[in-house]
Each structure stands twice: as structure tokens, then as C-alpha cells.
A and B are shown apart, each in its own frame.
Chain A
């Protein structure tokens, strides 16, 4: 309100100045002989109208423009109150548009724009591995010696750190708990610039053997399991039967890698056979990403030569950490942002049409105001102020809406946490300055967009005729249908694009859901456990634990079949894949990779995977019997197209493993993945698992009689009755897993579908509005036609034809746009072409039908016109 005070001061100053002048003038006149009173008036006359003088002065100082805005705003609010139907229609339309945009933008902001909660996050780089031949792109896996080389040889990074995910069973007090954690080089916290909330970070010597039994806890775990007791520092906790001393607690918002409950120091070894580290680094000040990338290329090349790994197509590239963390969500978010932007455009077109229609009705008012001396600019400005006012009201409501819906919005984001190596970003979609600016700017933008047409329309008006004759208004308005029609055509075209996108995504989603997975997914419960290496070093211990648990499960009345699988459970992400060789056949091409699963005999009946040939695993297959392998139908097609596979021997590609003899063939299990064909798979029996970890990390699969999730506790008890210190985690029904695996396509379908529906409604309202308006304008013509004998049907046809013509032009334009746009959707579609003719046809018919209905509703008014009344009125 400072300008207000300054304005007051300016006013007073002027008044004093004028008063002094008047007094002096009057005094001089008086001294020259004019009577006092008369002198006073003469002086006043000479000065002129002081009020208008003051007005003029005020216009000179800048406040007037502000004052004028306030005046316009007051006027607009008065107009809107007087015409509530218009105001509600316009504000509602815009609120939908702006609110939806704000909601989506708040997610984009949270995931893509908000800086990570680390010191100077822009300089943080992640090492990324790319292999175009295998179509792989993800975090690079680096072995310890390679990491040391990177650390010693680079000149681009001020700091470089490695980490890998680990899991541990926390035991000691109460129920055992399964924890996700990370082994990190001790400098990781310093690199990211975060301090523990309590205690200290790791010391340099804690990366060496004998000193590495220390652990940092996440604040959430500390609160949940240790009730936030400060005495935790220095206390010993048991992870996988090893004692660790707690040295600190990291703040709850420090989620790196995401969902980590604890951190232990990473001891670097000289062994390069197990490349499991991810690497992050901070760019040295003044070093660009491109420059660092050049150096990375040189070192990577040198490493490949030293370790004899040349020519396998792998490339190491730097990706900013921010980008990496949002990599999986970016395409979805951008898709949604585009879709919602289109909705806003349609909303703008609709409101512009509303304003145009109303502008015509207000020609008389505008003409009067012009005649009374308002400048053209002032009137155009006032109309624009009106649009901006509407847009800002709608923007505020939209903001309110997305604030209220902020939690629901986050759950809209597809889950990526089950995709290994990718981090689920911490989504904090609070309303911040960026969201506020977005709302403000998009409101202003929308206001100008839809306010421009009516504002431009008003000045070019023939004043006299508008004042004299209301029909002239109609005539001058008849120049405008082109603008109005253009808006409708644009709306229809944009709606078509959205509908096609929604249609394609829906069909793709239906394909995904109706895909026959090759097993019976209802009534399956899955749960995972991991045997700690410390207590289960002996194979016999692992096998006896495994068999006891399965025996207990089999004896439960609610369970039909119980089995286990190590890695590779369908719809859970991941799994072991690699090369194999068949005895007597040349090695298959390297790009052919085979899924390798380790299962118990009960796995196939529990999943409902049919046995096609030979026999299934049974209790006869032990670690002393002949190694046996089962293969799937695709395997047979690939390797034994013309012969029986039974009795053939296979090397499953695990170092040091024997040859396994094929005993049976099972059906293919299909997962909607990136490949078109179902994966080639082989199954090894649990008792003959080639590597210990395949027996330690086990997923239990049970087929239940009733609702699977009701059996959760029974499964847990069965496990813990065998070993009370083994936690059971990742408990889910197969239905849940499948639903999670399609969460991204589902989000795309639902949200784009919702926006398409909004667009269709807006476009329908738009067509209805324009046709209604044109019917009102053409009352006279219609009346004459009716008087000359046109039937009701003929009148209807005339009107509907007009709406149809607009729609068809819009459809034609929309088709061209759709063909261009949906190509971008192609890699989000499953088993459906981006140009799917059926989808296009259905969408076009839907749009045409909608426009015909909208026009018909509007045309009923035309058909009701009584020629006598209409003509007499003229």
C-alpha cells in the first residue's frame, strides 16, 4: 500500500502549491484595486478546474495505472456478479483446465525440478552403463578394482564414491525384521554433503577389516525399531548374526540409495568377478559434464584393454544424479503434461467462445462507453482485465484443488521401486514457489490467450450504427463466426488427439491385462526370505530348512500346493538370465539369453504351470542323484525343433556346474515385457542349485484355497516355527504383483483417459454453445424458411449440418495431428500399433456422434421458432 500513501502525499503537495498560488494571485489583484471577494474568484477562474487538474496530475504519477487495474477489477467483479451463469461456466471450465495442469505440474516439479536434498546437487553425477546391442541402459555395475582405478586416475571429480545395495535380517529384540541397506565407501556422506542427525559418519579407517563392524541407521528405522532412544549410539545390533556398533543416525529425508534402512562401510577387495557397485561422483568446480565424459571414455577404454573386455559394446556415460533418479518417471510425466496442456487449450478455446458470444451482446455497452470518451485501448484493456480476472480466480481454485489432492496425486505415480537399480525418487509435491509461479503464469497465459479475441474484437466497431441500431450489432458480429468456428475446429482437433491417445493406451492396457501369462494367477500368495550366510553355510542345513518349511506349508488346510522359486518369480522384476550350451550343439549366439530359475517340485502345481512332456521334479531329485533340468516350450522350439529334448544334456552356464539332463517340458510363462516372444527358460531343482545364494534367497509360492492374503500369517508362522530368526518379506498375492507390474500403463491410461473425457465434454459444450448462438443469430433466416414451407426436419438438418461441418474439419485436422503425435506413444503401447485403425475409427465416430447430439440439442430451439413471431419481432 506504499503507492497509496505516496499518492496522498503527492495530492497534498499539489493542493498546497495551488493554494499558495491562488492566495498570491488574489492578493495581487486586490492590491491592483479589485474587491477582495471578486479577486478571489478571478484568481480561481484563471486557474481553472482544480479537480480535473488534480486528476491530470495523478495520471502523471504512476499510481493511476495500478488504480486503473483496481478499478477494472472492481468493474469486472460487478459484471460477473450480474451475470453469474456466464461467470460460473467460464470459471468452472478454466478451473478444470488450470487445476489439472497445476496438479500434474506439482508432480513434475516434485520429480523432475525440485533439487535433490544434497549439497550442490547439480554437480552430482552417476555412472551409467549403456549397451545398445543388448538394449540395456541403467546404472553401471563396477567391480572394486575398477572403482579404485576410477578413483586414482580421474582428474575431473573432486570426490567419487561407490555403494551397493544389501539386505540383512535384524534380530535381537522381538520379531526379526528384514532390512534394506547399502554398503557405501566411507566418503559417500561427505560427497553428498549430508551429516548424521545424531552421532557421526564413518571414519576413514572404518573401511578396513577389523574396524568395519559399524553401522549408520536411518531415522525411520531408529524410530520404529529402537523407539528413538538416544542411547542407541555405541550400542551393538545384530545384522545377519554379525554384531555392528551403531555410530550414527541419518535424517529421515536422507534416502540414498532409496529405502535404505542402514549403511555399513564398503570394504574394497581386489576381486573383479562380482561387479555390483554403483558409482557416483561430484564434478570438480569448473569441469563441465562433457569434459568429464571425455576423461571417462579414456579411462573406460584403458580399463577394457587392461582387463581384456574389449569390444563387448558397453559404454560408460555420466548422467546427472537428478536425471537418473527421475529417469523412469520422466516419460510418463511428460506424457501427462502434454495431455493436460491440451485440456487447458481446449478450455481456453471454450471460454474465448463464451466471451465472444457475450462480447457481441455487450457491443451496445462498449459503444456507449466509447461515446462517453473511453479510449479504444482502455476498453480493450478492460476486456483483457476481465479475462485475467476470470483466469486468476480459476487459478486460485485450481491451486486449492491440487493442494487438497496432493496426497492422492503422489499415489498416481507409477511405482518403480521393483525395478532393480533405479531409485524411486522421494516425492515431495508440496506447493512451492515453482508451483505458485506456474499457476500464476499459466493463469495469465490462459487469460491472455482466451481474452485476446474478444479484446481485439471490440475496438473495430462502428460506433454510430451500434448505438442507433441493435441489429447493426448483429451484423458487425457476423464477421466473427470465423473466429468462433476456428475455435471449435481447434477444439475438435485437440480432442481427437487426446481421445486417440486414450484409446490406444486403453487397448494396450486391456491387452496387457488379458494376456494369458501361462499360469493361473488367482489364489497365489508369495513371500520371500533370505537365509543368513553365517548360520546356513552348509548346503544340508539349507535343504533341511527348505524341506521343513515346505512340509509345514503342505500340511496347512488352507493351502493346496506349496513351492519355492529362487529369483525370477514372474511379475516381480529381475531374475537370472544368461547364456547356456546344449551338449552336441554349437554355442548359441551371445544375444540369446535364457532365464534360469531354481524351483522346488511344488512350484509348478502351485503356479499352475502345465507339464507338457516327460516328468516334473520330485523328491527323487536330490543333491546326490543325476542332475536334472526342466525346460519350457520356447526352449524346445529354439534348441530341439525336430527332436525330443528328453534325455539331452545342458550346461546351464554357472561356473563349475555339471551337465544337467532334461527330464521334462513345461508351458511358457509370459510377462508383458520388452520382448515380443516369451522368454526361453530352464528350471533347476532346489536340491541341485549350482550356487549357494540360489538356495539362500527363496520366494515361497503357495496356491491357497481361499483369499490368498488371509494366509499371510500362516506362511510366516510356518517359516518361523522352523527358524524364529528368519523374517518373511515382500508378501504379496500374485494379483497384487501383476497389478503393480502394470502400474505405469494403468496410470497412463487412467489419466490420459480422464483428460480425454474432460476434453470431450468441453468440446461438446463448445459445439453446443456455438450452434445455439448461431441459431439465435439466424432466427430471422430460419423464420423465413419456415414461412416458405420448410419442415421441422429440414430446419434441423440445416443446423446440424453446420455443426457437422465444423466437426469434420476438426476431425480431419485432428487426424493429421494424431498420426504425428501418437508415434511418440509407440513405445508405451503393448501389442498395438500407434496407427491402430479400429481405435481411430471408434474415436472419429464417437466425436461425430457427440457433435451431432450437441447440434441437435441446440437445433431444437431453431425448430421451435414461430415464423410469425420471429418476423414480426424484426
Chain B
């Protein structure tokens, strides 16, 4: 069950893209799986708004970072899902965003906890 909304953290703008790309590093997945994966790995702390997930997926597809394909899945292969896959360009983008994120996180940390830093 999802946590109460007050516990959830709003995603920082731009981080959703990174999370999607990172999730797809494990292999192709459809939108629902991606959302579920993010939620599960963060212990439901990060709730992916579906309303922003799908536009984000399509945006990434358009930029060429993701490739998509319709495939049948489910118990009886009756249902079709759009599976998103990371492209080489997407992988490059992921490393880029990762390093940017690290820099930013480091910078914030230095402001927030200056003493702790060596």
C-alpha cells in the first residue's frame, strides 16, 4: 500500500528522467514496471506521478535516449505493453546526469553540513 501523501517527497525537477534511465539500465520495461520499480526501491518514499511519467517517457523517446516497442506480455500474452529500452545515447546521457547529480548533491552537502566535511 502506498504511504500517506505527507510522507512522500516531491521529485526534484529533472531527476525523474535520470531515475527512468537508471531503472532501464537493468533491461527493458514498460511504464508501469518502471513506476513500480522506483517506488519499491525507495520504499514507497518516491511516488512517481503517472501524469508525469508518461510524458517523460515520450520525451525521452523523442530525444532518442529510449527506444520503444510494443510487445505482448502478461499471463496469457493477451495484453500488449510498450516496452522501453535504453539506447547507447541514453546510456551516455545517464552517466552525464549521474555525474551532474553527484556534483549537486556534494555541493548541497557542503552547504548543509559544512563541519562534517573533512
- A34 → chain B closest CB, angstroms: 11
A21, B80: Cβ atoms closer than 8 Å: no
Binds A, one of B21-29, B48-56, B94-102, B106-114: B48-56
A722 sits at the interface (CB 8 A)? no
B residues in contact with A432, CB < 8 Å: none
Taking the complex as formed, is A20 at the interface, i.e. its CB lies under 8 A from any CB of chain B?
Answer: yes
Q: Please report which residues of chain A, range 1-56, place their CB below 8 angstroms from some CB of chain B when the two chains form the complex.
A: 10, 13-14, 16-18, 20-21, 23-25, 32, 46-49, 53, 56
Q: Mark A599-631, 1 if CB is under 8 A from B, else 0.
A: 000000000000000000000000000000000
Contact pick for A53, options B51, B59, B62, B80, CB 8 Å: B51
The CA of A621 and the CA of B54, in the complex, are separated in Å by 110
Q: Complex Cα distance A61/B59, Å?
A: 8
Instruction: Give the chain B neighbours of A227 by CB distance below 8 A.
Output: none
Whether the Cβ atoms of B79 and A18 lie closer than 8 Å is no
**Residues in B neighbouring A20, C-beta threshold 8 A:** 30-32, 79-82
A16 to chain B: which residues have CB within 8 Å? 70, 80, 82
Q: Is B40 an interface residue (CB 8 A)?
A: no
* B59 touching A21, Cβ below 8 Å: no
Q: A48-B50, A48-B51, A53-B51 are in contact. Are A21 and B32 (CB under 8 A)?
A: yes
B58 touches A (CB below 8 Å): yes
* 7 A-B contact pairs sorted by A residue (CB < 8 Å): A20-B81, A24-B32, A25-B32, A48-B51, A57-B58, A60-B59, A61-B62
B54 touches A21 (CB 8 A): yes
How far apart sit A427 and B26, CA to CA, in the bound complex (Å)?
Answer: 71
In the complex, the answer to whether B54 meets A17 with C-beta atoms within 8 Å is yes
Whether A60 and B62, one on each chain, are in contact in the complex, defined by CB atoms closer than 8 angstroms, is yes
Q: Are A47 and B82 in contact (CB under 8 A)?
A: no
Which of B31, B57, B58 is the most central at the interface, judged by chain A CB atoms within 10 Å of its CB?
B58
**Cβ of B80 to closest chain A Cβ, rounded Å:** 7
Q: Mark A462-473, 1 if CB is under 8 A from B, else 0.
A: 000000000000
CB <8 Å contact, B50 and A14: no
| Residues of the B chain whose Cβ atoms lie less than 8 Å from the Cβ of A25 | 32
Which residue of the partner chain, among A10, A13, A49, A61, contacts B82 with CB atoms under 8 Å?
A13
Question: In the bound complex, how far is the Cα of B80 from the Cα of A32, in angstroms?
Answer: 22
B31 touches A21 (CB 8 A): yes
Q: How many pairs of residues, A versus B, come closer than 8 Å at their CB atoms?
A: 49
Contacts of A49 in B (CB 8 A): 51
Q: Provide the bound-state CA to CA distance between A867 and B4, in Å.
A: 70
Please name the residue on chain B nearest to A49 by beta carbon.
B51
- Min CB gap B32→A, angstroms: 5
Instruction: Name A561-606 residues within 8 Å CB distance of B.
Output: none
Place the interface of chain B in its size category.
10 to 19
Interface contact A14-B58, CB-CB below 8 Å: yes
Which B51-83 residues have C-beta < 8 A from chain A? 51, 54-55, 57-59, 62, 70, 79-82
Residues in A with CB closer than 8 Å to B32 are 20-21, 24-25
Contact, CB under 8 Å: A57 / B82 = no
Question: Which of B30, B55, B81, B82 makes the CB contact (< 8 A) with A56?
Answer: B55
Tell me the minimal C-beta distance from B63 to chain A in angstroms: 10
Contact at A21–B79, with CB atoms within 8 Å? no
Chain B residue numbers with a CB within 8 Å of A60 are 55, 58-59, 62
- Give the shortest distance, in Å, between B97 (CB) and chain A (any CB): 19
Residues of B within 8 A of A14 (CB): 54, 58
The complex places the Cα of A16 from the Cα of B80 at a distance, in Å, of 9
Q: Which of B31, B49, B51, B79 interacts with A17 by CB under 8 Å?
A: B31
A48 to B59, CA, bound (A): 19
- Of all chain B residues, the one with the shortest Cβ separation from A25 is B32
A49 to B81, CA, bound (A): 21
4 closest pairs, A vs B, by CB? A48-B51, A47-B50, A17-B82, A24-B32
B58 touches A46 (CB 8 A): no
Partner of B51, one of A13, A24, A47: A47
Chain A interface residue count, CB cutoff 8 Å, equals 21
Chain B, residues 3-40, CB within 8 Å of chain A (1/0): the string is: 00000000000000000000000000011100000000
- What are the residues of chain B within 8 A of A10 when measuring CB–CB? 58
Please report the C-alpha to C-alpha distance between residue A49 and residue B51 in the assembled complex, in whole angstroms: 8
**Assembled-state Cα–Cα distance A24/B80 (Å):** 11
* Extra inter-chain contacts (7) besides given A14-B54, A17-B54, A20-B80, CB under 8 Å: A10-B58, A17-B82, A20-B81, A21-B32, A21-B50, A60-B59, A60-B62
Q: In the complex, which residues of chain B have a beta carbon less than 8 angstroms from the beta carbon of A57?
A: 54-55, 58
Residue of A nearest to B49 (CB): A48
> Does the CB pair B79–A23 fall under 8 Å?
yes
Nearest-neighbour CB distance to chain A for B89, whole angstroms, equals 18
Most buried by B among A10, A17, A24, A32: A17
Are B55 and A53 in touch, CB under 8 angstroms? yes
Q: A621 CA to B51 CA in the complex, in Å?
A: 112
- On chain A, the residues within 8 Å of B31 by CB distance are 17, 20-21
Set of chain A residues within 8 Å of B50, measured between Cβ atoms = 21, 46-48
**Which of A18, A24, A57 has the most chain B CB within a 10 Å cutoff?**
A24
Please give, as numbers and ranges, the residues of chain A lying within 8 Å of B51 by CB-CB distance: 47-49, 53
A563 to chain B, nearest CB (A): 88
Nearest CB of A to B11, in Å = 15
Q: What is the bound-complex CA distance between A13 and B30, given in angstroms? A: 13
Question: Which of chain B's residues has its CB closest to A50's CB?
Answer: B51
Contacts of B58 in A (CB 8 A): 10, 14, 57, 60
> What residue of chain B has the Cβ atom nearest to residue A56's Cβ?
B55
B5 CB to closest chain A CB (Å) equals 12
Task: Determine the chain A residues whose CB is within 8 A of the CB of B62 once the complex forms.
Answer: 60-61
| Smallest beta-carbon distance A684→chain B, Å | 90
State the CA gap A466–B50 with chains docked (Å): 40
Contacts of B57 in A (CB 8 A): 17
By a CB distance below 8 angstroms, the chain B residues around A21 are: 30-32, 50, 54
Given contacts A24-B32, A60-B59, A61-B62, contact A53 B82 (CB under 8 A): no
Chain B residue, CB-CB nearest to A53: B51
Nearest chain B CB to A843 CB, angstrom units: 62
Instruction: Tell me, in angstroms, the Cα distance from A14 to B1 when the chains sit together.
Output: 27
Chain B residues near A48 (CB, 8 Å)? 49-51
**Cα(A813)–Cα(B80), bound, Å:** 74
- Which of chain B's residues has its CB closest to A48's CB? B51
Q: What 1/0 flags go to A664-682 for Cβ under 8 Å of B?
A: 0000000000000000000
Please, which residues of chain A bring their CB within 8 A of the CB of B54?
14, 17-18, 21, 53, 57
Q: Closest CB of chain B to A47's CB: distance in Å? A: 5
| B28, chain A: closest CB distance, angstroms | 14
Q: Which residues of A contact B30 (CB under 8 A)?
A: 20-21
Q: What CA separation (Å) do A49 and B55 show in the bound complex?
A: 13
Q: How far is the CA of A25 from the CA of B79 in the complex (A)?
A: 13
A contact residues around B49 at 8 Å (CB): 48
A496 to B86, CA, bound (A): 68
Report Cα–Cα, A60/B32, bound state, in Å: 21
Shortest Cβ distance from residue A393 to the other chain B in the assembled complex, whole angstroms: 35
Shortest beta-carbon distance from B4 to chain A in Å = 15
Closest beta carbon of chain A to B38's beta carbon, Å: 14
Least CB distance from B2 to A in Å reads 9
Q: How far is the CA of A53 from the CA of B50 in the complex (A)?
A: 10
